[in-house]
Every structure is written in structure tokens, then in C-alpha cells.
Amino acid sequence: MNSRVAKEIVISALMVTAGAIAFSIGAPKGPQHVKRGYLPFEEVRVGISEDKVKKAIFSFALDHGGCVAGKVQYLSRNFDPQGGQYILHSRNNQVYEVQVLYSSKPVSHDAALAQMKRLLPSDAPATANAVPDSGKSSNGSESYNFGYRWRGELVPSLDKKGISIVSTRLEPATASQ
């Protein structure tokens, strides 16, 4: 190999490296920059389009066992910082229910209630009304109403030392509403 060819190879390698560095410096940082195929947990909430979930192939997987009667179910491939796995239920291209399962370590009641509110869309009422006695089930779960359209549920762990399931959902409209 002559020195001219070697020099051109070195110059080409330096140009590629410089271009890669310049590109990475100019790339947006933080939450506004999301890699293709990912859907951050912060953006998951009831009411988002199923298309966003379908495109998030590295964040969510289709759960064929949960697809029945027009309902489509997705499971998160990863866990949130508290160890929760997300289960999304959709129908007609809209996520109508989000559940977060804390199987390894339940979360506190306050953390679960905050998570439930975060999973609701921005147009849902900020305050919840606990459903009176009828909201308590045999497993001790608590039901909440956020206005007429939004429901939430907290399911305690088996040892009753925390919350193992946080659930929010859009209730179908009824004629009386």
C-alpha cells in the first residue's frame, strides 16, 4: 500500500469520526428525544393511540393471550423504576385501560394513588372520589371515580403491606350520563 492511499484512508476515518461527534453533540438531549421504537413510561396513559404502542416495538410486546373479543393487550418489555410492569388494553385504536403490576415489591398506597392519577389523560378530573363500601371487594381493593368517565383501582398485595396492582380505565359512556 502506498503512502497516498494510507493517507486517504486516515483522512476518511477522521472525517467519519468528526461527523459522528458533530452529530451526537447536535442531537437533542432529554425527554424530548425518544428513540424510534420506544415509548417512555411517562407518556403512557389511558386514551393514547394504539398506534404509538404498536410502533414501540422495544418497549411493548403484543400479548396474544390477552387478545379476545376485539380487545388487544400489550405488555411492557421493561419495568419502571419501582419495578412495575405495564399492561395496556386497547380497542378501536385507543388504549382504554392501563394496569401496572408490582409483583416483586408492592408500592405504598400514596405512591400507587399518585401513579393512578398520572396514568389518566390530562382532561380527567384531578381529584378522585373513593367509591363507598361498594368499592371494597373481597380482596380489599379500592375503587375510585374521576368524574363520570374515568375509573381507578388499587389492589393490595397478598400480605396487605402495599399495593400490587394500579389500574386506570375509561368507562364506556352510558345513556344516563
Query: What is the predicted pLDDT for the residue at 125?
Result: 81
* pLDDT tens, residue by residue, 105-135: 999 999 999 999 999 988 888 777 777 544 4
Does a structural domain hold residue 50? Answer: yes
For the four alpha carbons of 16, 18, 21 and 26, in that order, the dihedral sign comes to: negative
Q: Per the domain annotation, does 4 fall within a domain?
A: no
2 is a domain residue: no
Whether 87 is covered by a domain: the verdict is yes
Residue 58: give the domain boundaries: 41-170
The yes-or-no verdict on residue 138 having pLDDT over 70 is no
Q: What is the pLDDT of residue 139?
A: 74
Q: CA–CA separation, 141 vs 153, rounded Å? A: 7
The Cα–Cα gap between 129 and 119 comes to 16
- Does some domain include residue 105? yes
Each residue's pLDDT tens digit, 14-65: 555 544 444 444 334 445 555 778 899 999 999 999 999 999 988 999 998 8
Residue 118 domain-assigned? yes
Span of 2-6, 54-58, 64-68, 151-155 with lowest mean pLDDT:
2-6
Mean pLDDT of 87-97: 94
Q: Are 170 and 149 in contact (CB under 8 A)?
A: yes
Total domain count for the chain? 1
Q: Is residue 30 part of a domain?
A: no
